[in-house]
Structure 1
Amino acid sequence: MNIRVLRLLKNVTSLELEQKKTHHFCEDMPSKAINSKLSTEVDTRVLNNFFFRNRDIYISKHNRFADYPMHTHTFLEMNYMLQGTATEIVEGEKIVLHSGDLLLLDVGSKHAIQALDEEDILINILFREQTISVNLLSDLRRNNSVLYDFLISHAVGKKAIHADFLLFPKKRGSEIKETIEHIIDEYFLKRDFSNSVIKSYLSILLTQLVREYPLEKNDQISKSQKLATEILKIISQKFRTITLKKVAKQYNYNENYLSNLFKEEVGKTFSEILTQERLIQAHSMITNTIIPITAIMERVGISNKTFFYNKYKEFYHSTPGEDRK
C-alpha cells in the first residue's frame, strides 16, 4: 500500500481528536447527506446519495474513539478492516472484524459501530447499484452464488432472498487485500482517471470474492434463467442498437412471449433494462470525458433529449450538467 496514503489514514483528524477527548460521537456528515424525514420516521439516521456527485464510488476512513450511532443508507457499503479490529451491530447481530476481513452491507441494513482505538483502521467503501454492470452479473451468474443474488436484486430489480450482509473473512494468500489496497490508493492519491480505474477494480474485487469464497451450487439453472442472462449480456454489449424485436428474432421467440419471460426472470421490462444500461454508459462518458452531452446521447442510442434528461435525473438523482462539473 502507498506509504503516503497509509500515513494519511493513520493521522488523527480534528474530529477524531475531539472524540478522543470526550468519547462522544461528533457529527461527521453534512446535513445534505442525511435524509431528515426518513431519519425521524425510523429513529435511525438515513444517509442518502449525496456522496456520489461526480463519482461512482465514495471511500472514507471511519472516525475513531467514539461509538458510531445506528444508521442505514440508500446505497451498498463495504467495510474493510485495514488493520486492527472493529465490532459492528448489524440488524441486531454482533460482528467482529479483524484485519483483512470484509463486510458487505445491503441497502437499508441498520448497523452501528463501536468505538475504534488509535491502531484500528476501518475503511468504508460506498457504491450504488448503478455501478454494477449486467455484463459482470452475467459472469457471476455462472457461479450461481449468493453474492450474485445479493447484487442482482439491486442492479436489475430481481427479487432475491438474501441476508442484510455478507461477511468475507480474511484468507491467507488472498488477492483481495491487494485489490482493495489498489482501490484505496487510487481514491486518496486522486490521480487522473481514478474514477474509471476504481470502477474496474471494484468489478475485479467482486469477481475475486466469488472465486475465493465458493458456495454450494443451488438448483440447476432453468432454461428461462439462462436465456434472461444471455439477453442481459447482449444488452450490455449492443445497447446502442439492440431492440426486443431483434432479440426475439435471434432466439426465434414470439416478441410478446419473450418480453413476458424476461420480465418474469429479471423483474423489469426489456425496455427498462436497456434504458438503464444506456444511462450507465452515458454517465461514464459524462464524468470521464469532455464529449458533448448531445453526442453522448447519440453514442448510447437515445435521441429524445427530454426523455434522456428525465430518465437520467430519475436514475442518478442529478442532472448530466451537475455530474460534469
Structure 2
Amino acid sequence: MVNSILDKQLRELSDFEKRYSGTAEQPRHYSHLEDSELTLSNILDKPSIVPVDYFFKPDQNVVFLKHPRFIKFTEHRHSFIEMNYVYSGTCTQYINGKEVILKEGDLCLLDTNVIHGIESASENDIIINIMIRTSYFDSALIQRLSGNDLLTDFFVQAIYQQKKDSRYILFPKGQNNRLSEIIFQALEEYFHPQLCSNEAINSYMLLIFTELLRIYNSFSKNKEEPTFKKAIISDILSYMEQNYQTMTLETTAEKFHFHPNHLTRLLKTNLGKTFIELSHQLKIKNTCTLLDNTDLTIDQIANRVGYTNITFFYKSFKKIHGATPAEYRKKTSKSPTRL
C-alpha cells in the first residue's frame, strides 16, 4: 500500500523545480547536492565526470535523490554506480548517443564513466536516482547476493559482456510489483529516517539487487540465444561452492563430463578466471569467515578450507588481502557497513 505522505512528497515541486517549471528555454547544467538541496554547478560544454563528493557526504555509501524535473541534463559521466528508477511517467535518456526510453516501473543500471544525458522531465515524470559508491557495490552488495559469490560474479559479467561497449543494463518492469515495493520502502527509510534506518536501507539494497537478479534471470530465459552454456556454468559454480575444500580440476571436469582443458577454457572465457583462481577465491573467502567468527588457529583454518601447504596458504591470502591472516583477524571490524 502506497504511503500517501511520501507519494505526495515525491510529486510536490521543490523550490528548485518551481524556478524552472514552464520555462521555455532550459539552462544546461549539472546538479550538485548540498545540504539536501540542488543548486546549479558549472555550465559545461562537453561530457565531464561528476565526482563522488557532488552527491555523497564522506560517510555515505548510498544516496537516494528525486531527479529534478523541467531541466535537461547534458551529457556527463559519474565515478559511481547509478540506478534510474521510474516511479511515475517516463524518462528519456541518451546513453552513449543512443536514445533509451524508460517507462513506469523500469530501472536502468549505469556503470561508472558511462556518458549519458537526460531529457527534461514533465511534472508527472518522477524519476528516482539511486547512487552507490563502487566500493559499497563491490563489498556490501555483490559479494553478499544469494550467498554465492561466484554465481553473482558470473551474473554481473554476463550482463555487462552483452553490452561491454555501453556498460548499462535495462531492467524492464517485472511480472509483479516487488521491485517497486522494495524501492518505495527504501525511500521511506531514507527520507523519513527512524531507529536503525541505515541497517534497514542496507537490507533493502540487497533485496533490490536480488530482485534485479530474478528479473534478469526471468527475461534471459525468454531470449532467443541458447542458455545451455549459462546453465552449465551455473551448475559448475554451485558445485564448486559446495566442494571447495576437496575439489580438483580433474574431479570437477569428470563430474560434468568435460576434459579438464575444456573446463579451464570455459571458465576463463566466461568468468575471466582460471579454475585455480576461482578455487583460491573460494578458499580465501571461507578463510575470512572463519577468522572473523571462530577462535581456530590459522593453521587449523588453513587445513579446514583445504590447504595442505601452509606456506602457499599464507602467500595466497596475502596476495588477495594484502595482509597476513593474523593481521587481517586483528584489523577486522565487526561493525555494520555504513550507508
| Pairwise same-fold verdict (TM > 0.5) | yes
CA deviation string 1:74-98 (max 9, x = no partner):
5543321111333222222233333
**Contact kept in structure 1, 2:108 and 2:170, CA below 8 Å:** yes
For residue 47 of structure 2, the aligned residue among 27, 44, 47 is 44
Alpha-carbon distance change, 220 to 124 in structure 1, aligned in 2, over 3 angstroms: closer
SS at match of 1:193: helix
Please say if 1:197 is aligned against 2:207: no
Q: Could you tell me which residue of structure 1 aligns to residue 7 of structure 2?
A: 6
Q: Which deviates the most, 10-19 or 192-201?
A: 10-19
CA deviation string 1:138-196 (max 9, x = no partner):
4998xxxxxx5xx3247xxx844567344455578654433433443344444243302
SS at match of 2:70: coil
Q: Could you tell me which residue of structure 1 aligns to residue 226 of structure 2?
A: 219
- Which amino acid counterpart does residue 28 of structure 1 have in structure 2? H
Q: Could you tell me which residue of structure 2 aligns to residue 288 of structure 1?
A: none
> Which runs of 5 or more structure 1 residues have no equivalent in the other structure?
31-39, 142-147, 286-290, 312-318
Aligned pairs (5 A) from 1:20-169 = 23-24=26-27, 25=29, 27-29=31-33, 43-47=46-50, 51=56, 57-127=62-132, 128=134, 130=138, 131-132=141-142, 133=145, 135=148, 138=151, 148=155, 151-153=156-158, 159-160=161-162, 164=166, 165-169=168-172
- Which amino acid counterpart does residue 114 of structure 2 have in structure 1? S
Q: In 1, Cα distance between the equivalents of 2:279 and 2:50?
A: 29
| Identity score, percent | 22
CA deviation string 1:257-280 (max 9, x = no partner):
755553233112346556767898
**Contact kept in structure 1, 2:189 and 2:200, CA below 8 Å:** no
**Contact kept in structure 2, 1:87 and 1:95, CA below 8 Å:** yes
SS at match of 1:5: helix
Q: Could you tell me which residue of structure 2 aligns to residue 34 of structure 1?
A: none
Q: In 2, Cα distance between the equivalents of 1:198 and 1:106?
A: 17
Alpha-carbon distance change, 232 to 220 in structure 1, aligned in 2, over 3 angstroms: closer
Q: In 2, Cα distance between the equivalents of 1:92 and 1:251?
A: 44
CA deviation string 1:267-299 (max 9, x = no partner):
12346556767898999x9xxxxx79x99x989
**Contact kept in structure 2, 1:186 and 1:197, CA below 8 Å:** no
Q: In 2, Cα distance between the equivalents of 1:68 and 1:12?
A: 18
- Which amino acid counterpart does residue 74 of structure 2 have in structure 1? P
CA drift of 1:123 comes to 0.8
Alpha-carbon distance change, 227 to 88 in structure 1, aligned in 2, over 3 angstroms: closer
**Contact kept in structure 1, 2:178 and 2:211, CA below 8 Å:** no
* Structure ID, larger Rg: 2
Q: Could you tell me which residue of structure 1 aligns to residue 309 of structure 2?
A: none
Q: Which deviates the most, 159-168 or 132-141?
A: 132-141
Instruction: Say which structure, 1 or 2, has more relative contact order (CA 8 Å, 6+ apart).
Output: 1
For residue 184 of structure 1, the aligned residue among 187, 191, 195 is 187
SS at match of 1:70: strand
Q: In 1, Cα distance between the equivalents of 2:59 and 2:239?
A: 28
SS at match of 2:101: strand
**Contact kept in structure 1, 2:94 and 2:118, CA below 8 Å:** yes
- Which amino acid counterpart does residue 49 of structure 2 have in structure 1? V
CA deviation string 1:105-125 (max 9, x = no partner):
344432111222344310123
Alpha-carbon distance change, 264 to 27 in structure 1, aligned in 2, over 3 angstroms: closer
**Contact kept in structure 1, 2:253 and 2:263, CA below 8 Å:** no
> Which runs of 5 or more structure 2 residues have no equivalent in the other structure?
35-43, 306-312, 324-330
User: Cα RMSD (Å) of the superposition?
Assistant: 5.0
**Contact kept in structure 1, 2:182 and 2:207, CA below 8 Å:** no
Q: In 1, Cα distance between the equivalents of 2:249 and 2:5?
A: 51
CA drift of 1:207 comes to 0.4
Alpha-carbon distance change, 101 to 250 in structure 1, aligned in 2, over 3 angstroms: closer
Q: Could you tell me which residue of structure 2 aligns to residue 144 of structure 1?
A: none
SS at match of 2:206: helix
Aligned residues: 285
Alpha-carbon distance change, 259 to 84 in structure 1, aligned in 2, over 3 angstroms: closer
